Amino acid sequence: MQVIFNGHRAKIVSPVDSITLEKLSQAMKFQPLHMKFMPYKQKKIATRFWDGFVKLFNKTTKEFPTGLISKLLEIDPKAIVKPEKPLKTFSMTQKLSCLYEYQIRAVEALINSPYSHSMAELATASGKSVLTAELCLRAENMKVLVTVPTLDLLHQTKDALVHWTGEEVGIYGDKSKEIDKRITVATIQSLASGVKYDNKSKRAVYPDKLKERAEWLRTIDYLIVDECHGAAAESYQILSSLLSNTYIRHGLTATLRREDGNELILHGVLGPCVTKVTPAELISKGFLALPRVELHYLSHGNYNSSLGFAELYKEAVVNNSNRTSYIAEQAKRCLAEARGPVLILFDLLEHGDNLYAAVKDLGRSALVSGSTETKDRKSLVQQVENGEIDIVVASIIWVTGVNIRRLKTLIVAGSGKSGTMTVQRAGRVLRTHPDKEEALIIDICDEERLYLRDQYIARRFFYNEKYPGYVYDIRED
């Protein structure tokens, strides 16, 4: 079997028998999670003209996402796979002397991967910024694009790369379009905005006014996707198509698990995972603070079984004064035990307002949400790091891209069952600091039979998976 590929799509160019085609089709298809658990009658209607599976291999054209070449090689290890143009190579010489052994191991695994597209699963607070800088320096003869999901990460990553590489680094996003540098950091939203993805042709369609952006993206040699667990989204499909000339792609994230079952789409964009650095490894070696995960079980009585999730969440979580008071008491206890600063994370703005009202008099406090200006958020980060703020009540905007080593306690005030979100939230307090002996994570578990109970059970599973031996059940008398 002979295969040629570019950055976006691969194609079999030799004759293939029908049995092999069927094997490839089976290996490159999946059933979305919502289809697996759909009631029988609804599924029967939904699958009237569709079998309920997403197929990434086209048996007619023999095309498939380049990241799934590893799947093809599992079926035919002797297949000859060639790029449409020669791949550029990485320097084999380590550039930064400050790297830890596990960071060197991850870099080497990525640049020596047998696949042009590869991912690394790296524990939160493992130092992805310096690792990214090393990758950029090893790609010394390449034009590099680093994508991030948020504005906070945009500026934070740019500053880190300037520091570690010593090069000028461009920004694409937040009203800037600097495309004349060897290394550019961009938000995925700014790159995909205004572009549509044609599912039939598997190509991005863009208007003439975006031609300059598209032409610039065609000059990129190397793509690094930070927080790559989100790369199954359509915006990344758009970017993948625009980057058809970008043959080398690496993704970095703390968790590759996806609750929607779309891992295969993610792999299609960025390839297989070739290396892992677990929280347990970093904790045992002293690179992460010793965690203490406390699951606090609260019972609020039975709620109306006819309530939908949104209504129940507002009644049992957002506007539950007893629950809010309990969280305030925990924050007060943590400050009294010198476990501050305390970060309290919420999902809905109304919930944040209620929480802030309950804790603002306990110490020097701040409220952070999406409406907080970027410069003000950066200022707050520095104030917390300097020990000038005791309690921060923050929305999920602080779940990624915020590195505050001084934080000692996290209180998860919201709910949810996402493994990605659970791991990302915990990572906010796991960074080491001279004044931190232990990182405390308090997760409020609502023992309602409707929805919320299932959600905390899912979170408990992820805590035990990532931090075995450090999870404690707390039940109030």
**What pLDDT, on the 0 to 100 scale, is given for residue 46?**
55
**What pLDDT, on the 0 to 100 scale, is given for residue 49?**
58
Contact 398, 301 (CB under 8 A): no
Q: Among 27-31, 79-83, 126-130, 447-451, which range has the highest average pLDDT?
A: 79-83
Q: In what order do the strands lie in the sheet with 183-187?
A: 176-177, 169-173, 183-187, 144-148, 222-226, 248-253, 117-122, 273-277
Chain segment 114-138, per-residue pLDDT in tens: 999 999 999 988 889 999 999 999 9
Supply φ then ψ for residue 443, to 5 degrees: -115, 125
pLDDT-wise least confident of 30-34, 45-49, 57-61, 458-462:
45-49
**What pLDDT, on the 0 to 100 scale, is given for residue 47?**
55
249-272: average pLDDT: 87
Please report which confidence band the pLDDT of residue 255 belongs to, taking 50, 70 and 90 as the band edges: confident
Chain segment 315-371, per-residue pLDDT in tens: 888 998 999 999 999 999 999 999 989 999 999 999 999 999 999 999 999 999 888
**What pLDDT, on the 0 to 100 scale, is given for residue 61?**
95
* pLDDT > 60? residue 48: no
What string of H, E and C letters represents the secondary structure of the chain? CEEEECCCEEEECCCCCHHHHHHHHHHCEECCHHHHCCCHHHHHHHCCCCCCCEECCECCCCEEEHHHHHHHHHHCCCCEEEECCCCCCCCCCCCCCCCCHHHHHHHHHHHCCCCCEEEEEECCCCCHHHHHHHHHHHCCCCCEEEEECCHHHHHHHHHHHHHHHCCCEEEEECCEECCCCCEEEEEHHHHHCCCEEECCCCEEECCHHHHHHHHHHCCCCEEEEECHHHCCCHHHHHHHHHCCCCCEEEEEECCCCCCCCCHHHHHHHHCCEEEEECHHHHHHCCCECEEEEEEEEECCCCCCCCCCHHHHHHHHHHCCHHHHHHHHHHHHHHHHCCCCCEEEECCCHHHHHHHHHHHCCCCCEEEECCCCCHHHHHHHHHHHHCCCCCEEEECHHHCCCCCCCCCCEEEECCCCCCHHHHHHHHCCCCECCCCCCEEEEEEEEECCCCCHHHHHHHHHHHHHHHCCCCEEEEECC
Chain segment 377-430, per-residue pLDDT in tens: 889 989 999 999 999 999 988 887 778 889 999 999 988 888 788 888 888 899
443-458: average pLDDT: 83
* pLDDT > 80? residue 194: yes
* pLDDT > 90? residue 1: yes
Please report which confidence band the pLDDT of residue 26 belongs to, taking 50, 70 and 90 as the band edges: very high
The number of angstroms, rounded, from the C-alpha of 388 to the middle of its chain's C-alpha atoms is: 30
Contact 123, 260 (CB under 8 A): no
CA separation for the pair 30, 51 (Å, rounded): 11
Contact 172, 178 (CB under 8 A): yes
**What pLDDT, on the 0 to 100 scale, is given for residue 34?**
59
Chain segment 268-300, per-residue pLDDT in tens: 999 999 999 999 999 999 999 999 999 999 887
Contact 349, 395 (CB under 8 A): yes
11-35: average pLDDT: 89
**What pLDDT, on the 0 to 100 scale, is given for residue 477?**
58
**What pLDDT, on the 0 to 100 scale, is given for residue 202?**
80
